[in-house]
Structures are given as structure tokens and as C-alpha cells.
Structure 1
Amino acid sequence: MTHNPEGPQHLPLADLPTTDLSDLYPDAPVVAPLFREFGGRPRFTGRAVTLRVHENNPLVRETLSTPGEGRVLVVDGGGSLNCALLGGQLGELGERGGWAGVIVNGCVRDTAELQGLNLGIRALAAHPRRSGKQPGGERDVPVTFAGVTIHPGDRISADEDGILILPPDAHDPA
């Protein structure tokens, strides 16, 4: 827990727990508590890069192969529980590329490997089957799942208490 004797209003947003952010931004959407933690970084924050795919992950690989620059990849897999959209190899790509985290509205695999990465990872469940390799999907589109809509550029903050979506213009408290 981050503690500042002057109160949360004097910490940068990236250092605030979601509980304090929720108090500062009471209208900020909160992702329904459906997601499990799979990565080795329980707390992460960054700007959203969004994807919409269905049971195929080439676009996930392509995106994680680009510089993450501290951003969060949000993958809307339609909530499919039929295969994993992210595994150890793609998690390593994300870690090496400087991504802060990945949120998958779907499944992951290689969970022991994912736990060892310095990457925040949230997903609905684990699944041993890999995804298909057909190209396709959409990038940088609004995605809606778990009671929220996430737009490209939204600020994502995730920790042990949940996932909060702040608007792109949210700024550090004065």
C-alpha cells in the first residue's frame, strides 16, 4: 500500500491504489470483478491500446511486438473460454517490449511462466489450448465487456482491489 502522510491528492496517479483513485474519481468505471491475476506484476497502470479478436491471436502477437512504452494492451476476446489468446511466449514479448500489462477478456495459458514475468496480466481463466492463427481482428477500437467500455488512450489502473478506467485527460492531483 502506498502511503503519503499528505494524503493521496499529492501522489502521481500511477502511484495511487485503485481504492484512492475510485475516491478521487467516483464516476470512473470499474471493471466487473471477473478477472484473475496471472502475471508477476500485481499493480500496473498505463494508457490503453485496444484489440478485438476472436479465438485467433496473430494481432495480439503483432501488437506485443511493438514498443509498449508503459501502455496496457486490452484484448477483447469476446469472453471466449475455448482457447488461450496469450501464453508464455507472448507474455515474454510484452515484458521485453516494455508493456505495463495485458487484460484479456478471454483465457491465457502457460500460467507458471506468466507468473514469473514483470508484466501485469488479467484474464478470465486459464485454458491449455492455444488459439487459432488466422489473421484478423480490429485495433484501436472501443471495446465493451465486464460492464465498461474502454477506449484507446484511456488510463487503466489495476491492482489487487480491481481495475479502474480513467479518462485520457485524467491528470495528477495538484
Structure 2
Amino acid sequence: MNNIGFRILPIEKRLDRQLVEQFRDVVTPHISDNLNRMHAIGSKLRPFHKEGKLIGTALTVKTRPGDNLLVHKAIDMAEPGDVIVVDAGGDTTNAIVGEIMLQLAQKKGITGFVIDGAIRDSKAFIEGDFPVYAAGVTHRGPYKDGPGEINVPISVGGMLVHPGDLILGDEDGIAVVPQDSAAEVLEMVRIQEIKEIEILKSIGNGTVDRSWVDEILKQKGCEFNDLANKV
């Protein structure tokens, strides 16, 4: 029976680990720019760890708000390099993960949590370098009844995440790279990095070209007067 709403599926395909590792030094703004600023998890999910970049393959969980039974199962299923990404409906009434699950995840080689919901035992996360992004903190614990689903498309912070997508998080937030586009995005990011290095150099040596600002304003029909041009 196809028990939609209470089922566990496999990840059909994971990204090559060597390709994932090439994103290690990539920043989320560069990913966002090269995905037309359309593949970012919302800013309400913020980092709770002391430091460290989040990078890995999405193992997705959709759970009833306040219930973490399927998140426990996801930890047991996960492979090293996976990121557990949880759609808990954005509800922060009950915590979805805490220190025990943190320790379990680290032991398994999981690279981080993204929780559209709350965490607890926050001190254990704040003082460590295991990446976790969440919507809030509460001392109230979770239920363990289900239902829920593992490795289905989910919505986290307004972003659609598929199992196997590349997840990258840093100080600016979390970017999602569709699995089939990862190699292409990496190539575009490297080109942008070179361009931005040149821009920063031109700022430093005083040769930066800012004519594009006025060009866009003129294209938009902006009205100029003499005083504005002298500013």
C-alpha cells in the first residue's frame, strides 16, 4: 500500500563526494547569484553553532510539527556526508532535535541539521562546531508518534528541497543547489569569483568603473538634475 504521509524512501542518487568537496570554499552569495537568487532557504532559519560551514547532500524529512520520530529514523539511515533537512512546518512549540541527537548525528558522520522548527539543549550547539540551522529554541521536547516521510520533496523556509540536493550553509544563510545543476553552478561560481577579485582590485587601486550605475538609471527613465550629478 502506498501510505502517503507515513513512508520511508531511499535517496535515489547522491552527488559525487569529490564534486561536493569542491564547494567547500564557495560562499552562499555566489551560489545565490548564479541561481537567479531563487534557491535560498529563508532568513528565519539561522545558525546556532559556534562556527563551521555546512555542506553535504540533503536527506529530507517531512514531519508533523513537534514530532521527531522520523528524524530519529533519518539519523539511523543517513550516510556520512548527508545533511538532515527537516520540514517541521516552521512550528517552534516543541523541539525537533537536541543534544542526544546531535551526538548521534556526529557519530554517524552526518554533516549538519537544517530544521524548519526548533531545537533544544542549545548550549551544546552554540559551543560546538556541528552546523545546525533552525527557526528557534524551546525547552519543550518533541513527541515520537509520527506520521512523517523521509526522502520526499519538502519545503523549508520557503525553499523546495529534493533528496540528494546539495546543501551549503555559511554566515549568510543556506543555499540549495539542485543535484543535476551542481557541476554547472560550480563552474559559474568560479567565473564570478575571478570577476569579483578583479573588481576588488580596481577599488583598491582607484580604477573601478562605476558608469554602470548611471547607465541603468537612464535606462529606467530616472530624472537627473545638475546638483545630483555633482554629488
TM over 0.5: yes
In the other structure, the counterpart of 2:53 is 43
Name the count of aligned residue pairs.
164
Quote the Cα distance in structure 1 between the aligned partners of 2:127 and 2:79: 19
The secondary structure found in structure 2 opposite 1:125 is: strand
The corresponding residue for 1:4 is: none
Runs of 4+ residues deviating >6 angstroms: none
Gaps of 5+ in 1: 1-10
Report what 2:25 is aligned to. Answer: 15
> Match of 1:29?
39
1:16 and 1:67 map into 2 onto residues whose CA distance is 24
SS at match of 2:44: coil
Please report how far the alpha carbon of residue 133 of structure 1 lies from its aligned counterpart in structure 2 after TM superposition.
1.6
Corresponding residue of 2:209: none
- In the aligned structure 1, how far is the partner of 2:165 from the partner of 2:37? 14
Superposed displacement of residue 40, structure 1: 4.0
1:52 is aligned to 2:62: yes
More strand by share: 1
Structure with higher helix content: 2
| Higher RCO structure (Cα 8 Å, ≥6 apart) | 1
Partner of 1:163, secondary structure, is: strand
Cα displacement string for residues 50-73 of structure 1 (whole angstroms, at most 9, x for unaligned residues): 001111112111211334311111
Pick the aligned partner of 1:156 from 144, 148, 167. Answer: 167
1:150, 1:104 → 2: CA distance? 12
RMSD: 1.9
| TM-score of the two chains, using structure 1 as the length reference | 0.86
The whole-number CA distance in structure 1 between the counterparts of 2:146 and 2:42 is 29
- Provide structure 2 residue ranges, at least 5 long, that are not aligned to the other structure: 1-20, 191-231
For residues 12-65 of structure 1, give each alpha carbon's deviation from its aligned partner in whole angstroms, at most 9, with x where no partner exists.
223211122223433551111111211344411111110011111121112113
Identity of aligned residues (%): 29
Alignment match, 1:76: 87
8 Å Cα contact 2:59/2:78 also seen in 1? no
- In the superposition, relative to structure 1, how do residues 90 and 108 fare at CA in structure 2: closer, same or farther (>3 Å)? same
Matches within 5 A, 1:125-164: 125-164=136-175
CA contact under 8 A between 2:56 and 2:168: conserved in structure 1?
yes
- The residue matched to 1:14 in structure 2 has which SS? coil
Task: Check the 8 A contact 1:95/1:117 in 2, yes or no.
Answer: no
Code of the aligned partner of 2:123:
A
Task: Tell me how far apart the structure 2 counterparts of residues 22 and 132 of structure 1 sit (CA, whole Å).
Answer: 35
Between 81-90 and 22-31, report the one with greater CA deviation: 22-31
